[in-house]
């Protein structure tokens, strides 16, 4: 059977160590509880970031989250007064909604030689269908408090890809959030850039 690709174990461990060290540097109650939950009750550190596009490999979500964190530093340079803690929280945790979200399945497909073979693929199995940004908020806030700026940035990080933003009221709400806290736009840009150009 052809399996979905995975980050090498040593690379995955290095990324996990980097993620944990960054999150532990945040001065916020509940960080250890959040890390424990991510490590023991979710697949965050091994999950893909999507079914077939960016980061569609085991470990892709971790890789994508770290990439967004790095890019957010660049895209937020023009945003005044954003703390390092906020950049870490928003960059690393914006896609926590994708934990326990994808499942590995198998199907028969024809290979390059025209023969049928079993191949693994990622499928969505959303056991808690709360949405995307709003689901990340809910899961994060079970463990750590968020500032208003962090909450709005994470909620609206999908930008125009968020179905709620496509409605009249949702679009006005998202626009108001972006105007109130420019970090919302910076996180959306970092996430979009990472998804399309980095991994």
- pLDDT value of residue 157: 94
**Of 89 and 164, more confident:** 89
Q: Is the pLDDT of residue 198 over 80?
A: no
26: number of Cβ within 10 Å = 19
- pLDDT value of residue 169: 84
- pLDDT value of residue 167: 84
Contact in structure between 2 and 118 (CB atoms under 8 Å): yes
Tell me the pLDDT tens digit for each residue of 166-192. Answer: 888 888 999 999 999 999 999 999 999
Biggest CA–CA distance in the chain, Å, is 59
Q: 3-state SS of the chain?
A: CECCCECCHHHHHHHHHHHHHHHHCCCCCCHHHHHHHHHHCCCCCCCCCCCCCCCCCECHHHHHHHHHHHHHHHHCCCCCCCCHHHHHHHHHHCCHHHCCCEEEEEEEEECCCCCEEEEEEEEECCCCCCCCHHHHHHHHHCCCCCCHHHHHHHHCCCHHHCHHHHCHHHHHHHHHHHHHCCHHHHHHHHHHHHHHHHC
- pLDDT value of residue 76: 87
- Split at pLDDT 50, 70, 90, the class of 1 is low
Average pLDDT over residues 80-104: 96
Tell me the pLDDT tens digit for each residue of 31-63. Answer: 999 999 999 999 999 999 999 888 899 999 999
pTM, two decimals, is: 0.92
Alpha carbon of residue 138 to chain centroid: 14
Q: How far apart are CA 54 and CA 49, in angstroms?
A: 6
Q: How far apart are CA 139 and CA 186, in angstroms?
A: 22
- pLDDT value of residue 13: 97
- pLDDT value of residue 136: 98
Tell me the pLDDT tens digit for each residue of 11-35. Answer: 999 999 999 999 999 999 999 999 9
Q: How far apart are CA 20 and CA 83, in angstroms?
A: 18
Q: How far apart are CA 188 and CA 80, in angstroms?
A: 17
Positive or negative: CA dihedral 107, 108, 109, 111: positive
Give residue limits of the domains in the chain: 9-198
Which residue has 């023009």 as its token pair?
78
- pLDDT value of residue 199: 62
- pLDDT value of residue 70: 96
Tell me the pLDDT tens digit for each residue of 117-146. Answer: 898 989 999 989 999 999 999 999 999 999
- pLDDT value of residue 25: 98
């Amino acid at each position: 059977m052809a399996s979905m690709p995975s980050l090498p174990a040593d690379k995955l461990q290095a990324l996990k160590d980097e993620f944990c060290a960054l999150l532990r540097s945040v001065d916020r109650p509940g960080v250890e509880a959040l890390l424990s939950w991510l490590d023991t009750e979710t697949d965050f550190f091994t999950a893909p970031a999507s079914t077939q596009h960016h980061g569609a490999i085991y470990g892709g979500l971790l890789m994508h989250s770290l990439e967004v964190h790095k890019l957010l530093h660049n895209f937020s340079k023009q945003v005044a007064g954003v703390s390092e803690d906020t950049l870490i929280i928003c960059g690393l945790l914006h896609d926590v909604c994708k934990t326990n979200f994808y499942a590995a399945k198998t199907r028969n497909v024809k290979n390059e030689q025209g023969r049928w073979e079993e191949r693994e693929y990622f499928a969505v199995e959303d056991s808690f269908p709360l949405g995307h940004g709003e689901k990340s908020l809910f899961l994060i806030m079970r463990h750590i408090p968020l500032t208003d700026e962090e909450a709005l940035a994470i909620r609206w990080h999908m930008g125009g890809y968020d179905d709620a933003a496509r409605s009249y009221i949702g679009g006005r709400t998202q626009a108001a959030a972006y105007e109130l806290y420019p970090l919302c736009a910076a996180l959306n840009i970092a996430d979009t850039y990472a998804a399309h150009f980095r991994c």
